[in-house]
Amino acid sequence: MRRILVLVVVLACCVAARGEVEDFTFLQVSDMHLNPRPEGAAYEPDGRSVKAMAWVAGESGKEQSLEPYQVTAVAPDLTLFTGDLFEYSVIGDTWGDLERALAGFRTTNYLMPGNHDNTWASITPKLRALYMHREGINASVEGHYAFTHKGVRFIQLNTSGLLEAVPAIPRGMLTWLRGELDGLDPSMPIIVSMHHPLIGSRSYASEYDTLRLHEVLRGRNVVLLLDGHWHSAQVRRWHQYDSVCGGSTFGKNTGYNIISIQDGMLRVAYRYKEDPLGMDGLVEKRIDAEPAYLKSELVIPASTRHGEAVRVSLRVTGGDRVTSARLRVDGDVEGMLALEQEGASWSGVIETSSMVPGRHFLAIEAERADGAVFTRAGEFFVEPDPGVMRVERRQLVSGVKAGMIPLDDGVMLASVDGAIYQLGEDLRVRVVMGQGGQIVHGFAGTEDRLFYGRDSGYMQSSRYPTVKERMGWMKNLNEPLYAPAVVADGVVYVGDASGRVHALDATNGEPIWKTKVAAYGIEAACAVTDELVIVGAWDGFIHALDRETGEQRWSVWNAKGQTDRKSRYYGPADSAPVVMGERLFVTDRGYVLGAYTLEGEFEGVVMEGITAISRSEDGEHFYGRGLSDRVMKFDAEGEVVWEVEVPAGRLPVPATERGGRVAVTSNDGLLSVLDAEDGSLVAQVRVSPGLYVQAPAAIDAAGRVYVADLDGVVTRVTLAE
């Protein structure tokens, strides 16, 4: 038997949960990474996690022995699967393999995605089908859901990025979660599950991403956090919460967590499949204990002028004795500012003269007399010099990942929850079109029509800028659509999640041809020439089809596969190909930019460390976004015209050029506007307070720059003449 890693016993307090919490047991299974099975491929009975899952299924109908606590628990009612169900998402027949693995479980099973489930495709449509209309479940379009079992509220949060490997706490999650919590008794025990740990993970855009979740949960009776990702059995403290990792069903830590609620005690133990490893005791505590939090109010001015000081304060309202408080801005732990006490408040001043204008966040750590430390967080806005730029903002209820279309008097955009907005000149919402599945990567537009696909499989067309005329047509292509469409000469070209490319009549959506080019998905837009439709896929290849017939002309490995390791993980699939004359340029997830002929001959590596590329407005150049904070302009031969150091990063978000200006946004929201002629910096503004920006910027005819982030804030920047 392994030693008990953590033992926490908390005495019961006077606050009780609403209703009686009954005794029950449930399991946590995590990180199965079932092998991908392309369409038509044979089932692998010895594949990754298959036998371990059969073992867990067999144990799921039995009493569970929690050896570290000398307790025998009743047979489990539920099993929570905390993500990375699949190694390479849900392609081909892989979902059927999961259903086969779950068939032997004697429990009610609840699934949530991990980064391996939602990077190359997304299982969120499957989760919607399972939970959106199930009685007793409160579910979101974005994959979050909640239910009650025997007096405990279970909240499942989808932290996995939408077709991106990084985790996030997007606005849609917080909007849904606030609504979910508003309907609960504050004392009701809550167990929150997700894939990505909230502590120790550097993959979030910044600490503010997770601190916003903490602000929503604080004061609630969250008795346990469950996560995955690390493939290990461990427990850590995230603020005042116990956070337990769910191990894995392959490798040295093969096993599962047993969570027992018995006689008012919550216990967690990890059971290893190999008997010599025994069990790890992780948590033991009372479930009816009063949640520990500091009753306080955070006072932050909404905005201040650049160069002026921001005065912030934390007012303690619950009678707790705080002995010290410190403040940090934008995660700068080395520049912590000690706050001064003024009665029940702790206050300090932030100098803004050295800050980039725009959105910033702060966190205050307050230490109580007993040594407990509590954190509060919020954001503030530093107004730019009006002689340099004007910044306007609009908050939506969900985040934005898809590209936008600027209008003469506003902008068209889609939020992650699938709603389409038309914002007017004043950035007020003019029109909202309803949801029908998520819109991932954006629109294609003609003079009067908008074309977009949803992860529900529907390709749609509507009129704009007066979207009140609603739908032009809607066609079910029967596979999730992540890629933006391309419209050329009255034909819509779009790839789907199963590796098919579709050509549709733009006037009515009727199919012209459909060709399966890959066993894995297509995420980025096609490149269309006079004769070819060229697309990158997550099988690692670039594919070219005859534009008229859809017949496949050629397929070649991406640049990473040409020069190094051939692997679909480095597929050329999240940045659209760029055609310059008779030459094709493609970058891949290995961040290698390669050049090809239009006959598919690999000409060589142009540059390494390139995450995304995009054409210039004149069509004679293209831009590269660099992994190591670089942006460069190339000519049609792939030669560098200029290269500048500017915050960019690993996200495959291309630069945008229009009217002599180039807009590029860093991973965490610093917008840089460059001169297209020489790359010199024109202006910078922080459009997100350390949260991911995964949508490319848009520039309208007047030169105004639009940016939207996963926090659902649409920002318009107007530069002075």
Going by pLDDT thresholds of 50, 70 and 90, the confidence category of residue 14 is: very low
Going by pLDDT thresholds of 50, 70 and 90, the confidence category of residue 137 is: very high
pLDDT, mean of residues 710-721: 95
Going by pLDDT thresholds of 50, 70 and 90, the confidence category of residue 235 is: very high
Going by pLDDT thresholds of 50, 70 and 90, the confidence category of residue 443 is: confident
pLDDT, mean of residues 356-370: 97
- Higher pLDDT, residue 431 or 369: 369
pLDDT, mean of residues 674-687: 98
pTM for the model: 0.94
10 pLDDT above the threshold of 70: no
pLDDT, mean of residues 663-678: 98
- Give residue limits of the domains in the chain: 24-286, 296-383
Amino acid at 708: A
Report whether 320 contacts 374 (CB < 8 A). no
Beta strand 152-156 with 190-193 is parallel
pLDDT, mean of residues 681-698: 98
520 Cβ contact list (under 8 Å, min separation 6): 36, 38, 88, 91, 120, 121, 499, 537, 538, 539, 568, 571, 573
pLDDT, mean of residues 355-381: 97
The region that residue 539 occupies, defined by phi over 0 for left and psi between -120 and 50 for alpha, beta otherwise, is alpha
Share of the chain above pLDDT 90, in %: 89
435 pLDDT above the threshold of 80: no
Share of the chain above pLDDT 70, in %: 96
Q: Which of 242-256, 317-331, 442-456 has the lowest mean pLDDT?
A: 442-456
**DSSP notation for 621-634:** EEEEEETTSEEEEE
- Higher pLDDT, residue 685 or 565: 685
Helical (H) or strand (E) element with 359: strand 358-368
pLDDT at 470: 59
pLDDT, mean of residues 25-39: 97
128 pLDDT above the threshold of 60: yes
Residue 541 burial (10 A CB sphere; 0-12, 13-18, 19+)? buried
- Indicate the average pLDDT of the chain: 94
pLDDT, mean of residues 276-302: 90
pLDDT at 293: 87
341 pLDDT above the threshold of 70: yes
Q: What is the pLDDT of residues 606-665, one digit of tens each?
A: 999 999 999 999 999 999 999 989 999 999 999 999 999 999 999 999 999 999 999 999
Q: What is the pLDDT of residues 79-94, one digit of tens each?
A: 999 999 999 999 999 9
d(CA 721, CA 715): 19
pLDDT at 322: 96
Tell me, yes or no, if the two domains 24-286 and 296-383 fold the same way: no
651 Cβ contact list (under 8 Å, min separation 6): 164, 166, 611, 612, 667, 692, 693, 694
The torsion angles phi and psi of 527, rounded to 5 degrees, stand at -110, 130
What's the CA angle centered on 400, arms 396 and 406, to 5 degrees?
Answer: 90
pLDDT at 430: 85
pLDDT at 202: 81
Alpha carbon distances (Å) from 125 to 213, 281, 334, 480, 486: 24, 36, 43, 8, 24
19 pLDDT above the threshold of 70: no
Q: What is the pLDDT of residues 164-203, one digit of tens each?
A: 999 999 999 999 999 999 989 999 999 999 999 999 878 9
Question: Under CATH, which number does the domain 24-286 receive?
Answer: 3.60.21.10
Name the residue among 603, 608, 577 with its Cα closest to residue 592: 608
Per CATH, the architecture of 296-383 is what?
Sandwich (2.60)
pLDDT at 292: 85
Going by pLDDT thresholds of 50, 70 and 90, the confidence category of residue 18 is: low
Helix ranges, 141-185 (H): 171-182
Q: What is the pLDDT of residues 512-570, one digit of tens each?
A: 999 999 999 999 999 999 999 999 999 999 999 999 999 999 999 999 999 998 999 99
Q: Which of 336-340, 399-403, 406-410 has the lowest mean pLDDT?
A: 406-410
